């Protein structure tokens, strides 16, 4: 009886479970049907794959993305301008100190170009040359002055003209030497007259076929256009000799033999009947000097005669009044310049500031007297007026006329004023 009862209960339970299953199946079918209807009508939601945000890999990826973004923002604000810069190397010429080299050459020239008539002096000269030249080169140059040489030489001046770096510690030096050459002999061998002097013309005169003009030079300057008969000026040394009771100046001539040598000759008759000829000569030479690492120097070539650079062809800017400045303005400018240059020699900085922009005109403080303008020209450049003038001054000390040249830029405000000067 009991077993049957349990059987019945199980059957009832089974029936109940079966009922729930049926209900669930119906619900499932209903949902599928409704979902299908929504799909057919287009209202169904698409399935979305959801990834958990708490996973380690996801957190690492998010960290990398945030770090990259932060780094990009940082570089955007701190990055240096990366425009391409083209570098250019500037090679500056090294200023080389040649004072020691020039002093060495000057000392050498004073020894080399001076000699005496007696043998002892010549031997001493040759020994001194060994301090500047190799023994072989010193011996070779010592022989150029023979035992029968009638002249003695005194070096009056040496000037360095040019120093050229040849590389490998070698230098070429050009220098000028001024000598007083003295020779004493008989009247027949030593006398000189103006008629015996050659007539030397400039290169321009030679091209034009004019040989009637000589070039008369002295150490300080050059004069041209004098004939041989006009050259009678006496040198300072000749004047000194002519004051002697035992001497009589016979003739004196200055003439030029090109650019390399200038001669000034004076003949003096002595009481014993002999004649002394004093010749002042200016010559140019070149030598090569070797300088070792320790600073030691030696002349490695014999002094070789050379010339000096000739006159350059130069055509400067031509200034002329072109009509761009009216006559009334030119009169005003001329009055202004006369006033300015009249006070300029003795003007102070404060006084100059009234007439010129500070720093434009230098304070000269000279004992000059203004003597007017010479060959003044006026023209316009842009909105400014240019004035090119020659100014004549009388030098109260030297007692000569000085002509100064200025190119001035002028502007007019309340008054005319110099704003630039060349």
Same domain, 25 and 143: no
Cα–Cα distance, 253 to 335 (Å, whole number): 49
Domain carrying residue 15: 1-42
Instruction: Please say which residue of 253, 270, 305 terminates a domain.
Output: 305
Cα–Cα distance, 250 to 368 (Å, whole number): 42
Same domain, 108 and 33: no
Structure tokens at 367: 């004992």
244 in a structural domain: yes
Same domain, 241 and 372: no
Count CB atoms within 10 A of the CB of residue 158. Answer: 20
**pLDDT tens, position by position, for the chain (422 residues)?**
455 555 554 555 555 566 777 777 877 888 777 777 776 776 655 565 565 555 777 788 888 888 888 888 887 777 666 566 566 666 555 557 789 999 999 999 999 999 888 888 888 888 899 999 988 888 887 777 777 788 889 999 999 999 999 999 999 999 999 999 998 876 555 444 333 433 333 334 434 444 333 333 333 333 333 333 343 333 333 333 334 434 444 444 443 334 456 677 888 888 888 888 898 988 899 999 999 999 999 999 999 988 777 778 888 888 888 889 999 999 999 999 999 999 999 999 999 999 999 999 999 999 999 999 988 999 998 889 999 999 999 999 989 999 999 999 999 988 999 999 98
Same domain, 242 and 352: no
Instruction: Please say which residue of 273, 305, 337 terminates a domain.
Output: 305
52 in a structural domain: no
Same domain, 241 and 132: yes
Same domain, 344 and 293: no
Tell me the helix, strand and coil percentages in the chain, rounded to 5: 35, 30, 35
- Cα diameter, the chain: 194
Structure tokens at 150: 């009638």
Alpha carbon 92 to chain centroid distance? Answer: 11
Angle between helices 119-129 and 135-142 (to 10 degrees): 150
Q: What is the pLDDT of residue 237?
A: 36
Same domain, 334 and 275: no
Do residues 340 and 360 touch, judged by C-beta distance below 8 A? no
Same domain, 127 and 232: yes
Cα–Cα distance, 197 to 218 (Å, whole number): 16
Cα–Cα distance, 232 to 303 (Å, whole number): 33
Q: What is the pLDDT of residue 63?
A: 84
69 in a structural domain: no
Handedness of CA 193, 196, 197, 202 (dihedral sign): positive
341 in a structural domain: yes
Same domain, 348 and 254: no
Alpha carbon 383 to chain centroid distance? Answer: 32
Angle between helices 99-112 and 119-129 (to 10 degrees): 160
Q: Residue 193: which CATH number?
A: 3.10.450.540
Alpha carbon 54 to chain centroid distance? Answer: 78
Q: What is the pLDDT of residue 73?
A: 85
386 in a structural domain: yes
Q: What is the pLDDT of residue 193?
A: 37
Q: What is the pLDDT of residue 202?
A: 38
Structure tokens at 101: 């080299």
Please tell me the total count of domains within the chain. Answer: 3
Cα–Cα distance, 252 to 324 (Å, whole number): 56
Same domain, 30 and 108: no
92 in a structural domain: no
Q: Strands (DSSP E) along 258-366, which ranges?
A: 261-270, 275-291, 297-299, 304-305
Same domain, 177 and 294: yes
318 in a structural domain: no
190 in a structural domain: yes
Same domain, 345 and 412: yes
């Amino acid at each position: 009886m009991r077993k049957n009862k349990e059987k019945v209960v199980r059957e009832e339970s089974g029936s109940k479970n079966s009922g729930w299953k049926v209900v669930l199946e119906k619900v499932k079918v209903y949902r599928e049907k409704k979902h299908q209807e929504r799909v057919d009508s287009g209202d169904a939601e698409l399935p979305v794959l959801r990834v958990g945000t708490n996973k380690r890999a996801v957190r690492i990826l998010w960290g990398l993305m945030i770090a990259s973004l932060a780094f990009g923002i940082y570089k955007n604000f701190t990055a240096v301008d990366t425009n391409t810069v083209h570098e250019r190397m500037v090679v500056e010429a090294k200023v080389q100190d040649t004072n020691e080299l020039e002093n060495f050459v000057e000392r050498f020239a004073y020894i080399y170009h001076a000699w005496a008539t007696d043998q002892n002096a010549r031997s001493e000269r040759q020994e001194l040359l060994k301090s500047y030249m190799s023994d072989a080169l010193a011996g070779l140059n010592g022989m150029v002055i023979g035992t029968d040489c009638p002249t003695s030489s005194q070096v009056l001046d040496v000037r360095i003209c040019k120093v050229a770096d040849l590389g490998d510690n070698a230098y070429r030096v050009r220098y000028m030497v001024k000598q007083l050459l003295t020779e004493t002999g008989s009247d027949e061998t030593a006398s000189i007259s103006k008629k015996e002097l050659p007539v030397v013309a400039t290169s321009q005169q030679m091209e034009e076929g004019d040989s009637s003009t000589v070039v008369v030079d002295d150490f300080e300057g050059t004069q041209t256009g004098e004939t041989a008969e006009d050259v009678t000026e006496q040198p300072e040394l000749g004047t000194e000799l002519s004051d002697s009771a035992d001497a009589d100046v016979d003739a004196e001539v200055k003439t030029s033999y090109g650019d390399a040598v200038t001669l000034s000759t004076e003949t003096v008759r002595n009481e014993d009947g002999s004649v002394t000829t004093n010749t002042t000569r200016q010559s140019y030479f070149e030598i090569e000097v070797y300088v070792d690492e320790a600073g030691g120097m030696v002349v490695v070539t014999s002094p070789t005669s050379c010339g000096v650079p000739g006159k350059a062809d130069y055509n400067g800017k031509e200034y002329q009044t072109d009509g761009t400045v009216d006559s009334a303005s030119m009169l005003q400018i001329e009055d202004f310049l006369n006033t300015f240059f009249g006070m300029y020699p003795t003007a102070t900085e404060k006084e100059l500031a009234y007439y010129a922009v500070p720093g434009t005109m230098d304070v000269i403080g000279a004992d000059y007297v203004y003597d007017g303008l010479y060959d003044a020209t006026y023209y316009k450049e842009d909105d400014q007026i240019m004035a090119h003038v020659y100014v004549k001054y009388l030098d109260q000390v030297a007692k000569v006329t000085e002509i100064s040249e200025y190119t001035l830029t002028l502007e007019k405000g309340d008054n005319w004023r110099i704003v630039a000067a060349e």
